[in-house]
């Protein structure tokens, strides 16, 4: 008797009609075969074997370089279940429309079957997915990003407890590109894109959109969050989870080299993008990294901003849409630490000239195994996960939001997350630098109605013993000349230290209408070059600006109608009242 997964794979083969089907085992030998094939057909370009062992450059189709949110759909039975922030199609309509694009899509191609585990191999919280794809680049990427191959098939056995994901490159035309999620039947269909979150179906499609839906049903949380441990001088580690929108600094924070190393503060990485969090038997909130690798933004990565990553990716790494140096064949991007020069080949494979725009695509990325980072925590694969003491929200906000503040309690923290906004980045197609509301950094990734998602967050708090404290950070506040007020990167550890000190009850704060803001002297700023004026501006809370902001958030919440939890409305009102009572909280 065929197992459920074999039956589903047969169905896919009947529809897409591949020349052959290959079940991936995840072995090095299999990867070597794929690399040879990809080097032969141009999918991969070989990089310098001396400086970058087994590293390759992949150039995706120039029309296929970022997630396409406008072509991403949540296909629940009712539109309400998907909510006002998602694109929606009825399941049957979606299938009728998109099935023809899969019909015969793999003629003369190989269909690869990728069984994979999300979460640590032996964790009770982990889940199995199976992706079929005609892209060897997707196979190689999934091998780095998840526990792929035989281990996953073993874990699955003859069970039907897996999330199937059907992927084909199709003809790569944006007109025939669809990323469809069927959360009620836990199914993913993706066609017409070979890039990142559109095509590696274990990532945003399963680990966030489908998983967030499951998490609500089952009482846990699937979040767009990095996970890190801050080691202090006493030897104690404080574990934190942080949600920032795409390309807003998760990877860099999770892997930072602390500027307070001499003082005994070090950051250890657990994950950089997706956290699954459960209330454990002892009542603590425990988080696992759903992934096994980093698919990180290349531009801006250099020996100063992220030395750990510069070490991690000098072997066994895939670079996507970066530039390369023509003679030495090394990857290159803006902000790598060297000036652009005439010897560059740009991300489209053309000779770069100063007039031809950025040499690397702004959303160019590296794909590298997590355990290649020197910063990886020895607990990153703990089956029970790590206990979370702080949840941090943040975004790119040139104005308004101070460097850091602490929410008054869990419900206020949920409100702080729900009112997040950030300037858009190159991680998704569309305009860059436009401020948009992005609750919990989940706007593109929540697989159901976000009003219900807020309620789910509110419901989780009381289930956790010593619920984590909730904070908001902003590394991106600018002065009147448009310059960042805060140096960021390794200096962000100073903010993490303040957060850990707040948890221990030993850091001072000003009680402002938006929450608790550090007093200037409660931040450890020794050895750092920052003026008193910049610091004051970074910590300032302008009540009239915030009053305007609350109007904008109230307007945003209107789209949810009656479904918006009453508690969110209460929090909104309480904030407005506090703002009205206080004219100035800033110093
Ligand atoms: P996704 O992988 O898209 O989810 O992004 P991410 O949230 O992991 O963002 P990442 O850490 O890759 O950073 C994105 C960009 O922001 C990079 O170009 C970084 O150089 C820049 N960046 C990260 N941290 C800071 C910071 O503290 N300050 C400033 N000014 N820029 C930062
Ligand atoms: C993001 O956009 O948040 C990413 C990259 O982490 S992608 O895999 O394309 O979603
Ligand atoms: Mn991300």
Tell which residue, 343, 472, 300, 303, has the closest CA to residue 395: 472
Q: CA separation (Å) from 82 to 87, 149, 260, 391, 417?
A: 8, 32, 45, 26, 20
Q: Do domains 4-43+68-219 and 223-292+378-542 have the same CATH topology?
A: no
Q: d(Cα 50, Cα 288) in Å, to the nearest integer?
A: 35
Write down the pLDDT at residue 582: 83
Structure tokens at 433: 């630098």
Q: Burial-class residue 510 by CB neighbours within 10 Å (0-12, 13-18, 19+).
A: middle
- Measured from the Cα of 300, ligand 1's closest atom is 20
pLDDT higher than threshold 70 for residue 329: yes
Nearest to 566 by CA among 454, 472, 467, 463: 454
Angle formed at CA 353 by CA 349 and CA 323, multiple of 5 degrees: 40
Identified catalytic residue from 12, 24, 55, 248: 248
Distance CA 184, CA 92 (A): 13
Enter the tokens of residue 392.
Answer: 């941090």
How far is ligand 3, taken at its centre, from the CA of residue 245, in Å? 7
Give the DSSP H or E segment for 36.
Answer: helix 28-41
pTM exceeding the 0.85 threshold for the entire prediction: yes
Q: Which two tokens stand for residue 360?
A: 């690397």
Mean pLDDT in residue range 387-396: 98
The Cα 350–Cα 348 span in angstroms is 6
**380 CB within 6 A, ligand 2:** no
**Mean pLDDT value across the chain:** 97
Known catalytic residue at 248: yes
Cα 363 to Cα 66: distance, rounded to the nearest angstrom? 7
Chain centre to alpha carbon of residue 381: 18
Residues 6+ apart with CB under 8 A from 472: 392, 393, 394, 401, 404, 405, 407, 416, 420, 515
Cβ(143)–Cβ(136) below 8 Å: no
Contact 128, 119 (CB under 8 A): no
What is the separation of C-alpha 263 from the centre of its chain, rounded to a whole number of angstroms?
A: 30
Query: For residue 507, is pLDDT > 80?
Result: yes
Closest CA to 464 of 314, 278, 317, 336: 278
Range 429-458 average pLDDT: 96
Alpha-carbon distance of 420 to 553, in angstroms, equals 9
The reported pLDDT for the residue numbered 586 is 38
Give the integer Cα–Cα distance in Å for 148 and 113.
10
Q: What tokens appear for 348 in the block?
A: 């489209």
Cα gap 104→113, rounded to integer Å: 17
Q: Which residues does 292 contact at the CB level (< 8 Å), separation at least 6?
A: 144, 145, 146, 147, 369, 370
Contacts of 461 (CB under 8 A, 6+ apart): 410, 411, 414, 467
Q: What is the domain partition of the chain in residue ranges?
A: 4-43+68-219, 223-292+378-542, 294-372
- Span 157-175, average pLDDT: 98
- For 496-509, give one letter per residue: b (16+ CB within 10 A) or e: bbbbbbbbeeebeb
Question: Which residues touch 269 (CB under 8 Å, ≥6 apart)?
Answer: 227, 228, 254, 255, 308, 370, 373, 375, 376, 377, 380
Q: How far is the CA of 438 from the centre of ligand 3 (A)?
A: 13
* Ligand 1, residues at Cβ distance < 6 Å: 244, 246-252, 272-273, 296-297, 299-300, 305, 427, 475-476, 484, 488-489, 492
For domain 4-43+68-219, the question of CATH label 3.40.449.10 is answered with yes
For the segment 253-276, the average pLDDT, to the nearest whole number, is 98
Which of 251, 398, 429 maximizes ligand 1 atoms within 8 Å of its Cβ, making it the mutation to test the pocket? 251
The answer, yes or no, to whether residue 584 has pLDDT greater than 90, is: no
**pLDDT bucket at 583, cuts 50 / 70 / 90:** low
- The per-residue pLDDT for 36 is 98
Question: For residue range 307-324, what is the model confidence (pLDDT) as tens digits?
Answer: 999 999 999 999 999 999
Instruction: Indicate the CATH number for domain 294-372.
Output: 2.170.8.10
Q: Which ligand is nearest to the CA of 206?
A: 2
223-292+378-542 folds as: Phosphoenolpyruvate Carboxykinase; domain 3 (3.90.228)
Is the CB of 246 inside a 6 Å radius of any atom of ligand 2? yes
Cα–Cα distances in angstroms (integers) from residue 523 to residues 300, 416, 539, in the given order: 26, 22, 11
Beta-carbon count within 10 A of 333 CB: 28
| For range 20-41, the mean pLDDT | 98
Q: Could you give the 3-state DSSP secondary structure of residue 532?
A: helix
585 pLDDT higher than 50: no
pLDDT for residue 439 is more than 70 = yes
Torsion on CA atoms 178, 182, 188, 194, rounded to nearest 10: 20
What pLDDT, in 10s, does the model give residues 336-374? 999 999 899 999 999 999 999 999 999 999 999 999 999
At 379 the three-state DSSP class reads coil
> Is residue 197 within 6 Å of ligand 2 at its C-beta?
yes
Judge whether residue 269 has pLDDT over 60.
yes
């Amino acid at each position: 008797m065929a197992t459920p997964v074999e039956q589903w794979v047969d169905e896919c083969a009947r529809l897409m009609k591949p020349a052959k089907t290959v079940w991936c085992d995840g072995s090095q030998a299999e990867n070597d075969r794929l690399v040879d094939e990809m080097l032969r057909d141009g999918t991969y370009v070989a990089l310098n074997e001396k400086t970058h062992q087994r590293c390759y450059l992949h150039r995706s189709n120039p029309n296929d370089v970022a997630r396409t949110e406008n072509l991403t759909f949540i296909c629940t039975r009712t539109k309400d279940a998907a909510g006002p922030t998602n694109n929606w199609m009825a399941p049957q309509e979606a299938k009728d429309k998109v099935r023809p694009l899969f019909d015969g899509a793999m003629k003369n191609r190989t269909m690869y079957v990728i069984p994979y585990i999300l979460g640590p191999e032996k964790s009770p919280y982990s889940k199995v997915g199976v992706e079929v794809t005609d892209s060897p680049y997707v196979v190689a990427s999934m091998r780095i990003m998840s526990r792929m191959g035989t281990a996953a098939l073993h874990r699955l056995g003859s069970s039907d407890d897996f999330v199937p994901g059907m992927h084909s490159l199709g003809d790569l035309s944006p007109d025939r590109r669809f990323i469809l999620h069927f959360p009620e039947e836990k199914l993913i269909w993706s066609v017409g894109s070979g890039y990142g979150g559109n095509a590696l179906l274990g990532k945003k499609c399963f680990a966030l959109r489908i998983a967030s839906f499951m998490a609500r049903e089952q009482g846990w949380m699937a979040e767009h969050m990095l996970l890190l441990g801050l080691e202090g001088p006493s030897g104690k580690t404080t574990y934190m989870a942080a949600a920032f929108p795409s390309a807003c600094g998760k990877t860099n924070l999770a892997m930072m080299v602390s500027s307070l190393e001499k003082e005994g503060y070090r950051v250890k990485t657990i994950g950089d993008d997706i956290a699954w969090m459960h209330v454990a038997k002892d009542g603590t909130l425990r988080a696992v990294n759903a992934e096994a690798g980093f698919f990180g933004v290349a531009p801006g990565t250099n020996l100063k901003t992220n030395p750990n990553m510069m070490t991690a990716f000098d072997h066994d790494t895939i670079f996507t849409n970066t530039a390369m140096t023509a003679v030495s064949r090394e990857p290159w991007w803006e902000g790598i630490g060297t000036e652009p020069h005439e010897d560059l080949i740009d991300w489209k494979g053309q000779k770069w000239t100063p007039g031809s725009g950025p040499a690397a695509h702004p959303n160019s990325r590296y794909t590298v195994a997590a355990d290649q980072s020197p910063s990886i925590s020895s607990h990153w694969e703990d089956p029970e996960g790590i206990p979370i003491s702080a949840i941090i929200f943040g975004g790119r906000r040139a104005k308004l939001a101070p460097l850091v503040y602490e929410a008054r309690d869990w419900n206020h923290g949920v409100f702080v997350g729900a009112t997040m906004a950030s300037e858009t980045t190159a991680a998704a197609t569309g305009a860059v630098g436009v401020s948009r509301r992005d609750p919990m950094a989940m706007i593109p990734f929540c697989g159901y109605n976000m009003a219900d998602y807020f309620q789910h967050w509110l419901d989780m708090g009381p289930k956790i013993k010593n619920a984590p404290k909730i904070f908001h950070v902003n590394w991106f506040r600018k002065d009147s000349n448009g310059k960042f007020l805060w140096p960021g990167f390794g200096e962000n550890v100073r903010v993490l230290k303040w957060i850990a000190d707040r948890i221990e009850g030993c850091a001072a704060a000003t009680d402002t209408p938006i929450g608790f803001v550090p007093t200037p002297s409660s931040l450890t700023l020794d050895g750092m070059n920052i003026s008193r004026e910049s610091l004051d501006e970074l910590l300032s809370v302008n009540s009239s600006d915030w009053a305007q902001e609350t109007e904008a958030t109230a307007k945003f919440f209107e789209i949810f109608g009656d479904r918006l939890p009453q508690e969110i409305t209460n929090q909104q009102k309480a904030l407005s009242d506090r703002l009205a009572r206080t004219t100035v909280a800033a110093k």
